[in-house]
Structure 1
């Protein structure tokens, strides 16, 4: 981590921060690539990436007019990922359980609030972004010197890999922090992520994702019955999200070697472990089918799992 007169690294580590950076650039460097990606319809069913919010993503001042700088943080879910790999569990993406079972939007907003309170800068105004806002988060992290874009389009950090969620604080002031130099590409000739994706969702030529082919898009963002992307039946049994392209990435090996594995869940979310890892798949499917739409939503409220709803979940059991 960087040393700074403004932020204490031990405090940040206690909040699960792997690394952080600072930038004063308001305009994404990959804006033209993003616009070309949407023009090719590679965003697929993710309409929120190509509607009126597309204009907002062109400049941070569109969402926070007083923008002068940004602090960008990488929040880890490495321990959960390591536990899942050791226990051969691939049914859900690790981020879903990486914050004690709580929806990361909720968990990280609380952590960003604590960080903002520590800044203690006079007349400071802040705006939090955790991927629900119209901000190109990975580009913002790139501008803050936190990594490069892998061939799977993920941001990869040279020391910490890619098992993290990006959270940022936009500020109305500039801070006495040096701006980092953006990292260069370190993927080289490696094509592990491209080769491993069972649905061929990674576009080799543009190093971008075709969302309509992506298992994560299908299992999380499609909220009604739909045809699975070709190759879905060849995956590892994913029913919510997908980590395949990250799990094969060489840059994720060393970070996992340094940590101990753990699966920590809040008491109210302990049932999720039984659901996902202990129940036979057909039993889980039957339980979901027998529940009401309202009851299912209520049960999963506060987690990442309530997004697709009951119908969206049931379609995920297709093979």
Structure 2
């Protein structure tokens, strides 16, 4: 049964996975509450809600017994052509990963229900109170690096994390925690242009380029102007410099492939982008989160003082 399940997970294109019993994440409680008490979540008020559910997945799914943690590679084969163009985070090249991963996890749930055991469950992909990195670490899929990203010794860190929580016990893996391989390296800390990594494994979201370009709904922090290194949506700098990402290999997930026009956009194409092109390029993209007006705001913030 376990082998059959693992073959299905692999056939869905996941990079890695582990099957664990649901439990309370006691070791994360102090870390999470301290981060919130220091207001490092900024405008992300949702982070301050449902703390009990973040620490205890059994409150998310009634009678939860099992959590299946999966990784999905999003490292692209090619990046943007124009080195002067505003930089889009690699994770946003293709279809919004929430859709891609949830579809796969729903298919996995259906497979378990039909082939393994009757059960109920829910897929989770970065849109519910689940401490994904903590679970992936507990699952032995990697360690939490100094930039607070999960790093896999085999695959680096350019992957999404998702979970399927079900109310049926399955044969569980016996994962071993991956030891911290960061050593004395501080490349991610040193390379962050806004100094958002305020301590090892602690990111002040308010200073983070990803937070500023995606989560902030009003005007971005003027104190950070000129420090974005041309990032228009998201930021990969702390991952790009990580030596472990030399292990990253291009994904072959059709849903994450970029729109044919996207990577060829020149600097002026971004600056002159009108709504119809935005809608064409980002119809099902994570960039829809900030919207057309948000993207225009971000472009202006990068230093183009003309009205876009």
TM-score, normalised to structure 1's length?
0.83
SS at match of 1:30: helix
Aligned pairs (5 A) from 1:26-45: 26-28=23-25, 29-45=27-43
Indicate yes or no: 2:282 matched with 1:300: yes
SS at match of 1:83: coil
Q: 1:313 to 1:86 in 2, by over 3 A?
A: closer
SS at match of 1:5: helix
Among residues 54, 64, 68, which one is paired with 1:57 in the alignment?
54
Among residues 104, 115, 124, which one is paired with 1:129 in the alignment?
124
Indicate yes or no: 2:273 matched with 1:287: yes
Query: Shift of the alpha carbon at 1:235?
Result: 4.0
CA-atom RMSD, angstroms? Answer: 2.8
Q: Deviations over 1:158-208 (max 9, x none)?
A: 11111100111101122113231222211111101001100100012x521
Distance (Å, rounded) in 2 between the aligned partners of 1:175 and 1:195: 43
Gaps spanning 5+ residues in structure 1: where? none
Gaps spanning 5+ residues in structure 2: where? 303-308
Q: 1:296 to 1:277 in 2, by over 3 A?
A: closer
Indicate yes or no: 2:155 matched with 1:160: yes
Report the equivalent of 1:5.
Answer: 3
Distance (Å, rounded) in 1 between the aligned partners of 2:14 and 2:172: 18
Preserved contact between residue 84 and residue 90 of structure 1 (Cα < 8 Å):
no
TM-score, normalised to structure 2's length?
0.86
Distance (Å, rounded) in 2 between the aligned partners of 1:75 and 1:226: 31
Distance (Å, rounded) in 1 between the aligned partners of 2:234 and 2:296: 14
Query: Shift of the alpha carbon at 1:284?
Result: 2.5
Report the equivalent of 1:109.
Answer: 102
Query: Shift of the alpha carbon at 1:263?
Result: 9.4
Distance (Å, rounded) in 1 between the aligned partners of 2:171 and 2:211: 40
SS at match of 1:67: coil
Distance (Å, rounded) in 2 between the aligned partners of 1:266 and 1:246: 19
Report the equivalent of 2:91.
Answer: 95
Among residues 182, 192, 199, which one is paired with 2:194 in the alignment?
199
Among residues 212, 216, 230, which one is paired with 1:222 in the alignment?
216
Distance (Å, rounded) in 2 between the aligned partners of 1:16 and 1:229: 42
Preserved contact between residue 117 and residue 168 of structure 2 (Cα < 8 Å):
no
Q: 1:279 to 1:161 in 2, by over 3 A?
A: closer
Report the equivalent of 1:247.
Answer: 240
Q: Deviations over 1:4-58 (max 9, x none)?
A: 424244x4344331110122142223221011111111111211111x3233212
Worse overlay, 164-173 or 84-93? 84-93
Worse overlay, 114-123 or 215-224? 114-123
Q: Deviations over 1:233-266 (max 9, x none)?
A: 244421111110011111111233xx5x779678
Distance (Å, rounded) in 1 between the aligned partners of 2:167 and 2:254: 36
Q: Deviations over 1:90-139 (max 9, x none)?
A: 71111112xxx211111111111222233222221111110101111111
